[in-house]
Structure formats: C-alpha cells, structure tokens
Structure 1
Amino acid sequence: MTDLHVPAGVPATRIMGLGHYRPANVITNDDLVARGVDTNDEWIRTRVGIAERRWADPDESVVDMGEQAASKALASSGVAAQDVDLVLVATCTMPTPVPAAAPQLASRLGIDAPGAFDVNSGCSGFVYALNIASAAVLTGQARHVLVVASERFSGWIDMTDRTTCIILGDGAGAAVVGPSATPGFGPVVWGSDGEQFDTVAIDERTRYFRQEGQAVYRWATGQMADVARAACERAEIAPEDIAAFVPHQANLRIIDSLAKRLGLPNAVVARDIVTSGNTSAATIPLALSRMVEAGEIASGAPVLVLGFGSGLAYAAQVVLAP
C-alpha cells in the first residue's frame, strides 16, 4: 500500500487583518417614506433600531464591494496578494448562481490561480467561511486565506413590504486568516434548524427577499444566547473576559436581548445595524472591522462573534482581534 503525502500544517491560526466597505449612498428612514413606503422614522427605530442603511449604486456589484473590503484587509494584514492561496466569499445575493464571486474577486486583486469558491449560509456565512479558512491553514492546504463577505440586498427588495425593505442594506467586510504561534480561534459552535428553513428566503416567484420576522425573532432570542455561551465555555473564556460581542446585525432588539442574557460586563456590543442596516453575511466583519479601526477593540482582545439567520443556520466562536 502506498502512503499519501500530507502537507505539514501549522500550530494555530489567527485573523491577521480586517477591512470593510459601505456604499456612499445613505438611505435614511425619511428617504424610505419619500419613496412611498408606508412607515415613519419612529416606527422603524422602535421595531428594528435602524436610523439609516447604505444601498449600492445601480452599477456597483457584490464583487465591487468585496474588492474594496478585501483590499483594506490585505493592506491591514501585511500579506501580499501572491501569498494568498485560497479566496472565500460568503454571499447570498449574487445576481446569478454561476459564476461565483470568489474567482472574479481573486482576479481583480491580482491573486494568481488560488482556490476560490463561495459560501452561502446567509447571515452565518462569514463565521462558517472563517472556519474553512482556518482549517485550510491548519492542515497545510493554504498559507493565507482571504475571507470576504459581501451582500447587495438592494437588488432583492420589495419596496411594498415595509417589514423587509426597512431592514436590508448593502456592504462588505473581509479578513485575512493565516498562521500563528498561539491560537487565535476558539472552537466553533455551529448547527442548524432545517425544519424552519423557509422562514428566511428569496421568494421563488417574485425574486424578492421575505422572512417571517416574528418566528425568526423568537428563535434568535430564545436559542442563540445558549449557542454563544457554549462558544465561550469551549474556548474557556469567562464572560467577564470578553472584550467585544459582535452578533449578526439583524435587529437592535435581538442584539440587546442577547447581550443582556449573556451578561458580558466588560464587552463593547456591536450596534452597527443603526447606521448600516442588515447586510446578512457582511454584518459581522463589517461591524468588527469598523470597531477595530475606531480603536474600540484592542489587538489580541477576545471577541465573541455570533452568526444566525437563513437556513436556519448558526455559528458562534471566540476569536482574537488582529
């Protein structure tokens, strides 16, 4: 029997750099009213906590936004394009299923012939992609991995549905994952509730985004705190040692409920939804990158991330800030 050669891995992995991008086009709550949406600023702020969101220009694509965020992440990490072996894009808003965003993005960035594919797990997609990236580096399959989450929901919005059009935004976030002498990722706690798969979806007939908001709210507030707490326990990090909590930016009421239930006394809580809206897979890296850039999270500080949404899939993990 012939033994197969297995490449040498590394002792641990970490996030080496972050980047983000938000389109210039700011859509306030009053702008939605002016567009004919049956709502008002107070109604939106009270129910979902959003003051404004960003929508891409008509000719600005998922790949365009991902390129902007990825360029910043590469610059922040100090990793050159030629040292990236794998590109992952977490997205659920490409205009067509084929081609994927990742090969296009890699080509634009000058990354020569990397492995490249998209990850579609909706709002938890970035955390899933982070773990694929970490595994690739740990096992010696890649030196560095570029992970990008980019979403353009403005192309999938039903402007007559005030329960969804007020929430959704466009944007991108990115991270570079590479080798480390000490662990920068705690164990991931992930799973799904496939019996409720249809509560968040793109309608097959209309091609518009839709969701059963109350069902998602009950599921998230009822179960996701336990998932996040399990991630802390598996990483052996006490709640008081968590420096930041960055959950999926679905709804400010969900975020505040989870933060209260978790009891993280020293953590700054991401509330990027107030000015960015819900950008699905992009919410976590977008919020995390902005917080690191603003100096709200110190390098090496433990951050609890929690993705949840369509599927219904979820993933939680403690990571160290770059």
Structure 2
Amino acid sequence: MTGTRVVALGHYQPAKVLTNDDLTAMVDTSDEWIRSRVGIETRHVAGPDEPVDELAAHAAAKALAAAGLTPADIDLVMVATSTAIDRSPNTAARVAARLGMASPAVIDVNVVCAGFTHALAMADHTVRAGAATRALVIGADKMADIVDWADRTTCVLVGDGAGAVVIEATGAGEEPGIGPVLWGSLPEMGHAVRIEGSPPRFAQEGQSVYRWATTQLPPIARKVCERAGVALDEIKAVVLHQANLRIIEPVAAKIGAVNAVIARDVIRSGNTSAASIPMALSKLVERGEIETGDPVLLFGFGGNLSYAGQVVRCP
C-alpha cells in the first residue's frame, strides 16, 4: 500500500448573495440577532435552475484545472451530499457526465455535515489499496432546497456551494499527504440533526448540538493530530465544519493549535453542510494564508452526530 496526497483544490458558490437584512423581509429576525447567535453575515443561495450536481461540477472543474489534469485522468468520483433530490443517477454520476468523463467509479456519500471528511478518507483508502489511481472528492450541498424559509431558527444558518479536491498516490519514499482518519458517531442522538419528510426539511436541536460539539469533539480532534504524528503547535490551519461561529471558535480554542489559522468562512457563506470544509480550505489556499506542505487539521461533524477528521498537507 502507498500513501496519498491532495494535489489541488477548487470551490464554487452561486452568484446570488442573501444578506441578513434580506432575511428580515422574510422572517422575524434582525442582523444583530443573527450575528450575535451564529456569527453569519451573508450566504450564497442557488436558484431553482442550479442543481447540486452543477455546483459540484463547477468546483470539480476548478480543482482539475488547478491540478493541470483533464477529466480523463480521474478514475474515481466521490461526492459527499445530503441534498440530492434524485436517487439515480446519483450526484457523482451526474458530475462525471457534466465533465465528460469516460468510465470512472461514481459514489455518493451521505454523512451530512461530516460527509466530506468521510469521503476523503474513503477515497484515500481506495487509492492506497490500488483500486483507483486518482480521485475527485467533492463536498456539495444545496441547503436552500431543504430549509423552511419561514423558520428563523434554521433559514438564517444555511447557504449553498461546493468544494473539491484531487487526490493521487504519493511517489516512492514520499511521506503521505493525507493522515489516518478518526471517525465515529453517537447514533442514539442522531435525531438532533435531521433532514426528514416529504418534501425533506432541515431541523436541529441547537442546544444539544452545541453541547456535544463544544465538549466532546475537541479531545477527538486532538487525537486526529496524534494519529497523524503532528504536534498541535505544528498545525498551520484548523478547518472545522462551518456550522456556526459560536461553535467553531470555542471548539478551535479547546483543540489548542495555537499557531493555526482558524477557518471562519461561515461568516460569509453560512452553513453549507458537506461543502463547508473543502470550500473553506480552498479559500485559505487561494488567499495564501497557508503554504505548500503545511499540515492542516480537517474535522467534520454534524448530522447523525457523526464526526471524521484527518490531517492533510497543503498542496
């Protein structure tokens, strides 16, 4: 078995921006109420003619271009999403078709907000085992389709978007660029974050999620770094699921990566579920806030009360 590495990233968000002031015309809320409770200022929202696979394909195309690769170079497409409306073709197959791929394996992964880090681990394992040579791993969600825009407790949180990475096997003697995953869940509390019904609607028990995230997750995230053999003071960035600024900041502080940049893309993008981690990571790279080879802690958490994290090296 060999190791793997991230070779390029890309992200995409719809053009329409929904501000907190815009939301005041839709529900009983205010800019101050939203900022003080969740730290979000704006979010991007896709239109009815922008399906989730289109968002995913845009991000994937950007990652391929950044890697200097063509769709023919990819033999595995893995998409983390919980907002695909149709069962078949799955989102990965539709992305592959949009990009003109020939015969990749196409797999969707639904672990909601922890979906991207689960999908990245699965793709890492697949390439390590020799079942694929190069993979596109995408997190994409269109939360606008599943939120009740009359419910101020949820509609103020969400946004739409996609982020993608290209991974490939490392060369002989090269250190792995994707560390071992640490993942799990709390099934008995799975009801705390839900997308249920027909039509499906997003709902959550905010206080339960907050307590779980801020008390139970920091020691697990520290163990992710231990498994990767990276000291906390060596971590250059912490990219948590962009759920809520009032969760991100205390969790990051308790992890204790004192020299790390903390991703706060939630302020501008809202909670984009499986898209949040790759999108935030891609933006950090694009802005030059982290450099090639820097170790970055990725940690997803949320629906099912699932979590998954790994340390990756910045491409």
| Both structures adopt the same fold (TM-score exceeding 0.5) | yes
Deviation at 1:292, TM superposition (A): 0.3
Deviation at 1:213, TM superposition (A): 0.7
Match of 1:124 among 114, 133, 137: 114
1:17 aligns with 2:14: no
1:50 aligns with 2:40: yes
3-state SS of paired residue (2:56): helix
Match of 2:23 among 3, 8, 32: 32
Task: List runs of 5+ in structure 2 lacking aligned partners.
Answer: none
1:247 aligns with 2:240: yes
1:160 aligns with 2:160: no
Distance 1:95 1:295 in 2: 36
1:217 aligns with 2:210: yes
Q: Show the counterpart of 1:5.
A: none
1:199 aligns with 2:189: no
Q: Deviations over 1:21-69 (max 9, x none)?
A: 011100000000012x111000000000000001002200101101110
Question: Which TM-score applies when normalising by structure 1?
Answer: 0.95
Deviation at 1:205, TM superposition (A): 5.2
Deviation at 1:206, TM superposition (A): 5.4
Distance 2:307 2:6 in 1: 20
- 1:1-322 to structure 2, matched below 5 A, reads 9=1, 11-35=2-26, 37-180=27-170, 181-204=174-197, 207-322=200-315
Q: Which amino acid aligns with 2:12?
A: Y
3-state SS of paired residue (1:118): strand
Deviation at 1:272, TM superposition (A): 0.2
Task: List runs of 5+ in structure 1 lacking aligned partners.
Answer: 1-8
3-state SS of paired residue (2:220): helix
Q: Which runs of 4+ in 1 moved over 3 A?
A: none
Distance 2:175 2:257 in 1: 24
Q: CA RMSD, aligned part only?
A: 1.0
Distance 1:24 1:205 in 2: 28
Q: Which amino acid aligns with 2:5?
A: R
3-state SS of paired residue (1:79): coil
Q: Deviations over 1:240-274 (max 9, x none)?
A: 10000000000101110011111212100000000
